[in-house]
Amino acid sequence: MGWRISTDNLAAYKKLYDSVSLTADYRFNTHRRLSSLEGISNVALILASTALIVVSFIVVLYSGKLGQGEAYITIGQNCWPIIMLALSIMVSGAKYGARAERIHDCAQALNHLKKILYFKLNYSGFVPSADDFEKQATTYAEILSKYENHSKVDSNIELVRSKKIPAILNLLWEFFVSSIGRGLLYYFYLAVSITSVGWMLLGIYLAVKEVLPC
Among 189, 197, 193, smallest CA distance to 94 is for: 189
pLDDT < 70: residue spans in the chain: 1-8, 210-214
Query: How many angstroms separate the CA atoms of 107 and 29, rounded?
Result: 9
Read out DSSP for 142-196? HHHHTSPPPPHHHHHHHHHHTS---GGGHHHHHHHHHHHHT-HHHHHHHHHHHHH
pLDDT computed for residue 198 by the predictor: 92
The per-residue pLDDT for 77 is 82
Determine the Cα–Cα distance for residues 5 and 52; give it in Å rounded to an integer: 70
- Residue 4 gets which letter from DSSP? P
pLDDT of residue 214: 55
Q: How far apart, in Å, are the Cα atoms of 13 and each of 16, 25, 117, 144, 154?
A: 5, 18, 7, 18, 24
